[in-house]
């Protein structure tokens, strides 16, 4: 069942990213997602970027046609929500390195906040195409995390991908866990960087979804269904899968290679 709620707040986080806040009571944990229905358009899986209490939120990057419609939603507009679905980050590790690529920060920010609230130390490697697109930079800084940046164009932090930044941070400090979300090719590199140091990596994975109930097979990833077995996976479950970092399935179930 869906709950139709009115959007309470719309925040432009970056030029391509918008947060929608809405009242929704069912308890959620960082890492879980909801199915967000834009009436008359489509329904999409969206990781919660704000999980607490009844004031929840999602942070959406304009990609497909529907996510562009999400950006047009105004305060007061009705949206449908069902969930939360899926699993969550294990908040036990005491020293966490967060590696976020682009809109991956949306799911990692609430996880980092929850870890900080439990007394963990958090460091963040945050990457984006250009400085204005660094999602939740201020939010990570406000939680007292060490934040290191990278941009493709060098307009903030190191020029290039975020993985070399993460690798340097892994060399500089000890960590008990790496949490990462972003393009799968990036996450594969993060896993490779952490492996020699024996730091366990946890990934939040995205796939096309329809039912979100572990039934329709749209989000099949190897033997897993991302909607119920994920979206948060320990790296050792993902690395043996030929599809991880290589291909996903489109709406028809065809395998489609990720763009390079």
Binding site for another protein (CB under 8 A): 1-2, 4, 35, 37, 39-44, 78, 80, 210-211, 213-218, 220, 222-223, 225, 228, 249-255
Q: How far is the CB of 182 from another protein (least distance, A)?
A: 24
Residue number with CB closer to another protein (42 or 130): 42
CB atoms within 10 A of CB 2: 15
Residue 70 dihedral angles phi and psi, to the nearest 5°: -60, -35
Residue number with CB closer to another protein (7 or 228): 228
Q: Are 31 and 107 in contact (CB under 8 A)?
A: yes
Q: How far is the CB of 35 from another protein (least distance, A)?
A: 7
Residue number with CB closer to another protein (95 or 249): 249
CA distance 162 to 192: 13
CA distance 7 to 40: 16
Q: How far is the CB of 241 from another protein (least distance, A)?
A: 9
Q: How far is the CB of 91 from another protein (least distance, A)?
A: 25
Residue number with CB closer to another protein (40 or 119): 40
CA distance 181 to 162: 11
Residue number with CB closer to another protein (120 or 205): 205
Residue number with CB closer to another protein (80 or 245): 80
Look at residue 42 and give its three-state secondary structure. strand
Q: How far is the CB of 255 from another protein (least distance, A)?
A: 8
User: CA 11, 38, 101: angle at the middle one, nearest 5?
Assistant: 50
Q: How far is the CB of 46 from another protein (least distance, A)?
A: 12
Q: For the chain, what is the total number of helices (H) and then of strands (E)?
A: 7, 18
CA distance 129 to 154: 9
Q: Are 68 and 150 in contact (CB under 8 A)?
A: no
Q: Which two tokens stand for residue 46?
A: 């969206």
């Amino acid at each position: 069942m869906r709950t139709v709620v009115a959007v309470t707040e719309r925040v432009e986080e970056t030029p391509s990213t918008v947060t929608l806040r809405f009242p929704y009571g069912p308890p959620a944990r960082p890492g879980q997602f909801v199915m967000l229905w834009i009436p008359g358009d489509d329904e999409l899986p969206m990781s919660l970027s704000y999980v607490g209490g009844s004031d929840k939120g999602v942070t959406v990057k304009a990609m497909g046609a529907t996510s562009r419609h999400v950006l047009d939603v105004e305060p007061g507009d009705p949206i449908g929500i069902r969930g939360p679905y899926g699993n969550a980050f294990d908040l036990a590790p005491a020293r966490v390195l967060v590696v976020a690529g682009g809109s991956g920060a949306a799911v990692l920010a609430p996880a980092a906040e929850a870890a900080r609230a439990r007394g963990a130390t958090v460091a963040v490697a945050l990457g984006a195409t250009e400085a204005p697109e660094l999602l939740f930079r201020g939010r990570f800084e406000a939680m007292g995390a060490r934040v290191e940046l990278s941009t493709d164009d060098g307009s903030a932090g190191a020029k290039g991908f975020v993985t070399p930044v993460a690798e340097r941070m892994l060399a500089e400090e000890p960590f008990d866990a790496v949490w990462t979300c972003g393009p799968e090719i990036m996450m594969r590199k993060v896993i490779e960087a952490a492996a020699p140091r024996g730091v366990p990596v946890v990934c939040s994975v995205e796939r096309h979804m329809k039912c979100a109930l572990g039934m329709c097979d749209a989000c099949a990833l190897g033997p897993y269904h991302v909607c119920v077995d994920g979206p948060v996976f320990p790296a050792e479950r993902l690395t043996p899968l030929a599809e991880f970092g290589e291909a996903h399935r489109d709406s028809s179930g065809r395998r489609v290679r990720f763009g390079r």
